[in-house]
A and B are shown apart, each in its own frame.
Chain A
Amino acid sequence: MSVKSVYCMCLILSLALSASAQNNKKMSPEKQGLLLLTDYLGLHPKDISFRQDYHDPDGFRLSKVAALMSQPLDMIGYVDELKGVHIKGQPEILASILFDDLAVTGQSSRSRAYRPQGTEAGEAYTLYFLNQSLNQFLARMAVYIDQVFPRSTEMMLAPLSKKQKRFLTTKFKEIITSDLEEEFYTIEQHDSLEKAEERYADQFVEFAHKIDKDPIIRAGIDCLKMILLETKRLRKQLRGGEDAAEDFMRVTGFLPDNTDLSAFLGRQPGWAIGGPDNDYYNGDYYFILDIGGDDIYDLEYDPDNPHGVIIIDFSGNDSYRSRSDFTLGSGCLSVGILVDFEGDDRYDAKSFSLGSGYFGFGILYDAAGDDRYDGDTHVQGAGSFGLGLLVDEGGRDIYNGALFAQGFGFIEGCGLICDTKGSDSYYAGGKYKDILRYDDHYISLSQGFGYGLRPVMSGGIGGIIDLEGNDSYYTDIFGQGSSYWWSLGFISDKAGNDNYHSFQYAQGAGTHMSLGILTDDSGNDVYFSKGVSQGCGHDYSAGILLDRNGNDTYTAYDLSQAAGSANGVGILIDNSGEDRYFIHNEKNSQGYGNPRRDFGSIGLFIDLGGSDQYLGNGRDDFFWQTKSKWGGGMDIELIPEDETKK
């Protein structure tokens, strides 16, 4: 080894050590704050940890959720990482990362999608269009729709009986959906309904472990990647002047009178290729490619005949409408991909739509425009034994859902909205009444919500990532980075002056052995919720609200703003800014823990900078410990003021 190479190695080593030392020194403000406050209270950040065996662990627990339950403070790093994953025009990267997070505890390997063998990969279709690139693309799509998707679904459900397969689209669906009539049920009807759902869950547990969701999700992600790659080339061709569209759509010159068009590529049953004009599509489709115009889609889907659905629209202000459940970027026992590249679009959906993965993979990718999304249940980034994604890369968007919507993760599922630009509005709730608790509030269970079936099946991961804009979030009961039963719900909002409004179980709230977190990196934000919110963990759960910058206003009534309940952990951290904290009931908020099972919970309230105003237990420049088991807070100046700005 030469002297030069030894010198180089030493240099690299010293640089690595120096970088490592710098990393060690650079502890985040929130971490420093946690160390300081826990020390004051006789605690340590490591105390924030939960066991895996409060109940017999089930076989559906996601290893990511299990790991985060052991170290709930790692939720902060987890959502920070996810926030940085998305690359414009490549939603498949985010999908792949989330697929990794769908590994179940103890799962040593993940199944691949079905790989077509020999002739399957190039089934003989007669060419209809003259454009070679188009034909190549359509041929590849045909392989996915004819071979990869159905075979991957078979791989997913192979061990199930016909009756069990039927169960998935009937009784299991009933567990998720709600009925407006329930509000008027008698006590006996309620009991009967509750027992029926318990029975369904018990029946499902018997065979659910046989379901392998991996092949179909992977098939969907692979297909999405290919679509985005190939359509880039096709869209480029279409930009080549006025005649480009005409050339693109040019078909083979002569067709005999008795020709069966279904044997031609692009003209198969359930396929449609639309030109630059305004087109209308109506029915249950497998594949639509539309290159322009303001189009109308009236779509339906029959879950008894599951199949892949790919819809690609290059431009125009389009209107997508559901005539049944399981449409518009909905993978029901298969893959559903909806890609819209341009225009101000309107999506009017029913349930299980708009980026819904229900025993499958569903994505709605809208690359530009001011869009409006409306749906009912299990919509707008919702996953159950699957992955559901709604990625919107531009514009001022409106999201409207009723239940289990806007980043919802159910059993072995993950649902996410990733909105990268624009001031957006998120509304979830207002339809199904919360008959258990109130006569004038509605369940939302949405906006970064993870949910499991207590106590038999662990839940999934639900989240919203919003990178820009002054956003407005509204939920009622359960929402905005909250969770129930061995699951994770999160919102990570990077920038903008945002408004978070909810009523209960919200804004970083974990309930019953689960995890909820809301992080907001910058902007002057407003948080309002009545209770069990703003950093609240109930029943061996953790809830974290972390706001890093801006002059923020927090208002709540009770059991909020760093409240631990029933051996849970609630944390509120505000790193900087001139903030205002308002609480109605100071006896159980702002650094509070209540006793259950003869011992306490943990509530940690941390403000690390700025001149702040309090109504409640907090005080500016102060450490406090509330008369509770166990909680407290501190308001200090951790980050030195920047002298150059004075």
Chain B
Amino acid sequence: MKIKIFIAVISFILVAALTLAAAESNRTPVQLQKRIDSIFVIASSGELKYRDKVDPAIESLAKLGAKAVPPLIDKFTTKSARERLTIIKILKKIGSPALPDLIDALSRPEWLVIKRVCWTLGDISDSAAVLSLLGVANHDNWQVREYSIRALGKIGDLRAVAAVINSFNDSVGQVRKAAVVSAGKLNSAETISYLVQMLGDSYYGARLSAVEALLTKDTTRLLAQLKEALNSASGLKAKLAMKVLGKIGNDEAMDILSEQLNSGNRQKEVDAAIAIMSADPQDICGYHESVFEKIKDRLALLKIESARASAGDGTYSAN
């Protein structure tokens, strides 16, 4: 008798579970849309008092998987930054299963949607998206170009190198910046000479990002290019080249910098002295004496002393 009851209960639970599962899978798109909309209101809520409900709502939407992707892409037209970030967060959690719909969305007419899809594809970082991203890398809208190049860098696939190099010449600073950042992420020596050129870029985002990108590259090929950059007419290019040399800080780099101490160009001498102090605050290489013999200007000395102190105590970033 007990066994019969047990079997009946188990059967009932199974039937109920199967019925519920069938109902879930048979949900009409309208029902699904409604469900996504209602959870999304919570997932994208910014109010302080609802903050602890946000993450579970995001998880719940991500669990819906690929079927949640088209409605979420449709929401990319939102004017709310908070909603936009929430969508990207959910799609990233869904991951590769979201790719087919995201790639399809790259052919939509709204540049804002394409830009946000590129952003998401970069966050998912699946190389299956590379060719599609290359397809929008020359888009009319500069933000689409910026975010497609950015995504290609994040994915790190070498098929993107040519597109990245091409973007170094873009008329918009933000796109050049994206190219510089991506070049730093791509494991390719082809980009080195371009990155050195970018040290003199008119857009600070590209220029300063180039310093960081160059530091990811093989120094053997880099040093010669940097030495050449020191002859540049652009003061900023030479200054940043010295900064990179200071950060490399090996013997060869220090030799190049010490040569600049006697370049006869006041600005370059000071910049070289700052780079030397940053690289070698303890004067292991023995350049400090010549620095202080050479530089007498009050503010230049303050910069040099500050660079030495900063590098020495580790509180600050070495210049």
Contact = CB atoms under 8 A, between A and B. Distances in A.
Interface of A: 36, 39-40, 42-44, 47, 51, 53-54, 187-188, 190-191, 194, 198, 435-439, 454-456, 567, 597-600, 602, 617, 621-630, 632, 636
B239 A624 contact: no
B239 to A, nearest CB: 6
Interface stretch (B14-22, B38-46, B188-196): B38-46
16 contacts: A42-B239, A43-B204, A44-B204, A53-B142, A187-B45, A187-B53, A455-B79, A598-B150, A598-B178, A598-B181, A598-B209, A599-B177, A599-B209, A622-B306, A623-B306, A625-B316
B79 A439 contact: no
B247 interface: no
* Candidate in A51, A54, A194, A437 with the most chain B CB atoms within 10 angstroms: A194
A42 B317 contact: no
Nearest to B142: A53
B50 A187 contact: yes
A190 B45 contact: yes
Contacts of B73: none
Nearest to A38: B204
Given A598-B150, A600-B208, A40 B303 contact: yes
A191 B79 contact: no
Contacts of A47: 203-204
Contacts of A454: 79, 81
Interface string B214-247: 0000000000000000000000100110010000
Contact of A630 (B53, B208, B315): B208
B319 interface: yes
Given A42-B236, A42-B239, A600 B306 contact: no
Nearest to B181: A598
Given A190-B45, A598-B209, A624-B310, 12 more contacts: A36-B299, A43-B204, A187-B41, A191-B41, A599-B208, A602-B204, A621-B302, A623-B307, A624-B316, A625-B310, A625-B317, A636-B302
A40 B319 CA distance: 8
B47 interface: yes
B309 interface: yes
Nearest to A586: B315
Contacts of B303: 40, 623
A586 to B, nearest CB: 9
A133 B22 CA distance: 90
A507 B243 CA distance: 34
Secondary structure call for the B interface: helix
Interface in B274-319: 299, 302-303, 306-307, 309-310, 315-319
Contacts of A602: 204
Contact of A198 (B49, B79, B143, B302): B79
A39 B274 CA distance: 12
Contacts of B204: 43-44, 47, 602, 630
A503 to B, nearest CB: 15
A622 B309 contact: yes
B208 A624 contact: no
* Candidate in A40, A51, A54, A187 with the most chain B CB atoms within 10 angstroms: A40
B299 A636 contact: yes
A44 B172 CA distance: 18
A435 B203 CA distance: 39
A190 B47 contact: yes
* Candidate in B49, B208, B240 with the most chain A CB atoms within 10 angstroms: B208
Interface of B: 41-42, 45-50, 53, 79-81, 142-143, 146, 150, 172, 174, 177-178, 181, 203-205, 207-209, 211, 236, 239-240, 243, 299, 302-303, 306-307, 309-310, 315-319
A466 to B, nearest CB: 34
A597 B79 CA distance: 18
Contacts of B309: 622
> 9 closest pairs, A vs B, by CB?
A623-B306, A47-B204, A599-B205, A627-B317, A598-B181, A191-B41, A625-B317, A624-B316, A623-B303
A630 B177 CA distance: 14
A634 B306 CA distance: 10
B208 A42 contact: yes
A520 B289 CA distance: 44
Contacts of A622: 302, 306, 309
A123 B204 CA distance: 65
A506 B40 CA distance: 32
B303 to A, nearest CB: 5
A456 B79 CA distance: 8
Nearest to A43: B204
A598 B302 contact: no
Nearest to B240: A42
Given A438-B48, A598-B209, A599-B205, A44 B236 contact: yes
Nearest to A629: B208
A436 B82 CA distance: 12
A632 B274 CA distance: 15
Given A187-B47, A599-B209, A602-B204, A625 B319 contact: yes
A190 B47 CA distance: 9
A639 to B, nearest CB: 13
A437 B47 CA distance: 7
Contacts of B211: 42
A439 B319 CA distance: 42
Contacts of B318: 625
B208 A187 contact: no
A628 B208 CA distance: 12
A42 B234 CA distance: 12
Nearest to A44: B236
B307 to A, nearest CB: 7
Contacts of A628: 317
A627 B240 contact: no
A623 B45 CA distance: 43
Contacts of B302: 621-623, 636
A75 B61 CA distance: 46
Contacts of B41: 187-188, 191
Contacts of A198: 79
A632 B143 CA distance: 29
Contact of A627 (B47, B81, B207, B316): B316
A628 B212 CA distance: 12
Contacts of A599: 177, 181, 205, 208-209
A75 B244 CA distance: 34
* Candidate in B142, B181, B302 with the most chain A CB atoms within 10 angstroms: B302
B73 to A, nearest CB: 19
Contacts of B207: 42
Contacts of A42: 207-208, 211, 236, 239-240, 243
A436 B306 contact: no
Contacts of B317: 625-628
Contact of A437 (B48, B181, B205): B48
Contact of A624 (B42, B47, B79, B306): B306
A630 B150 CA distance: 20
Contacts of A597: 146, 150, 174
Contacts of A191: 41, 45
B306 A435 contact: no
Contacts of B79: 198, 454-456
Nearest to A55: B112
B316 A435 contact: no
A362 B287 CA distance: 68
A22 to B, nearest CB: 24
* Candidate in B42, B53, B316 with the most chain A CB atoms within 10 angstroms: B316
Nearest to A434: B48
A85 to B, nearest CB: 34
A632 B318 CA distance: 11
B48 A439 contact: yes
B257 to A, nearest CB: 16
